[in-house]
Chains A and B, each alone.
Chain A
Amino acid sequence: MSFINYSSREINCKIVYYGPGLGGKTTNLQYIYDKMSPDTKGKLISLATETERTLFFDFLPLALGDIRGFKTRFQLYTVPGQVFYDASRKLILRGVDGVVFVADSQIERMDANIESLENLKVNLKENGYDFDKIPLVIQYNKRDLPNAADLQEMKSLLNPKNLIDFEAVATKGIGVFETLKAIAKLVLVEMKKSAAVR
């Protein structure tokens, strides 16, 4: 659910990075934070355990620029990937405008990817969203690892509908901004569409 403020002329949108534990969601945000210029980003908030596992969420506000005199701001969130944090994931999806699914390319994480994608479907539904309609981009992360699964195989497992997807190595920044741009664009196009139908 976006927030449009006519008084301060701002548009705010919420994007959530979803995916299995240790897949690189926080690393995506960290890279974006490191590379953005200070005037366009806020603080990166990380609610993590001592071992750097996300406990509740990470949060990064970004300002992308103006559209027709409206400042467009995006708030990026990650969810905790570990299976037992499901209640938290559900809460963070509330009011989401777009989702990035960060898949772990390592072949032994394929089951975890599928489980997390199914969990995303369930949690979106419980928040009143339709998985088939919400803006969604898929990222195959950790492509540089020797045990990375075949890309076509991952596509057929995780992206049968051929949504926009990217290969990535989040630690090196490969594919990170491509993914962000793609989801931001999808969210804005979706907002444009729903403004036209209403």
Chain B
Amino acid sequence: MAGPSLIMYEEEFNQINKVLEKLTKEANAKIVFLVDKNGQLIAAYGETKNIDTTSLASLTAGNIAATGGLAKLIGEKEFSILFHEGERDNIHISIIGQRVILVVIFDHRSSLGLVRLRVKKTGDELNAIFSRLMKKVEKEPQAGSPFSEITDEDIENLFKD
């Protein structure tokens, strides 16, 4: 299989949530979320109630994948920042440490300049957290992995009608 699973522990998850909360406030954003490059939503903060974050995550990853393909075609490694401007809301997308995607949704209460500035700072913090997380996963790869203990019966049970 290509690469191990992405594993998230409680400690890092809380740290990430705090970082996203801070970014939401400092950048005057509506919603901030973090997605892995395969389209899985890692964390979200802000006015997420009326928004389908799962679909947003998958489309964001698709968007990054497609622009990455474009980049390669013209000899670039990747486009690390994407910006979509709407009538009311705007989306700022950036790749953090070539691993995860940070998405900021904001309206007229903020500005592109402010978002860019805050995202840059946040990127370093997130990078540090993910580096720690990766080290932790390497050190104790299956510490309490739900899969080391599940039985065939557990899997069967999932499919009982």
Contacts and interface: CB of A to CB of B under 8 A. Distances in A.
State yes or no: do A and B come from one complex: yes
Interface of A: 1-8, 11-12, 14, 42-43, 45, 47, 56-57, 59, 61, 64-70, 72, 75, 77, 87-88, 91-92, 94-95, 127-129, 133-134, 181, 184-185, 188-192, 194-196, 198
A88 B66 contact: yes
Contacts of A75: 39-40, 58
B147 A56 contact: no
Contacts, number: 139
A7 B59 CA distance: 24
B6 A4 contact: yes
A8 B1 contact: no
Given A68-B149, A190-B1, A198-B4, 10 more contacts: A6-B144, A8-B13, A42-B55, A45-B55, A61-B55, A75-B58, A95-B36, A129-B1, A195-B148, A196-B148
B65 A3 contact: no
Contacts of B159: 64, 181, 184-185
B50 to A, nearest CB: 13
Contacts of A59: 39, 55, 58-59
Contacts of B155: 67, 185, 188-189, 192
B97 interface: no
Nearest to A188: B155
Contacts of A127: 2
Contacts of B37: 94-95
Interface residues of B, number: 43
Contacts of B154: 67-68
Contacts of A188: 147, 150, 155, 158
B54 A42 contact: yes
Interface of B: 1-10, 13-14, 36-40, 42, 52, 54-55, 58-59, 62, 65-66, 68-69, 141-142, 144-150, 152, 154-155, 157-159
A65 B39 contact: no
A45 B13 contact: no
Contact of B62 (A11, A14, A43, A57): A57
A196 B139 CA distance: 16
Contacts of A190: 1
Can you list the 8 inter-chain pairs with the closest CB atoms, starting with the nearest?
A95-B38, A128-B2, A195-B147, A7-B13, A91-B65, A3-B40, A7-B10, A2-B5
A interface majority secondary structure: mixed
Contact of A94 (B9, B38, B59): B38
Nearest to B64: A91
Contact of A43 (B8, B52, B68, B158): B52
Contacts of A57: 62
B8 A5 contact: yes
Contacts of B145: 4, 195
Nearest to A196: B148
A4 B5 CA distance: 7
A89 to B, nearest CB: 11
Contacts of B54: 42-43, 61
Nearest to B3: A1
Given A5-B13, A6-B10, A59-B58, A129 B158 contact: no
A182 to B, nearest CB: 9
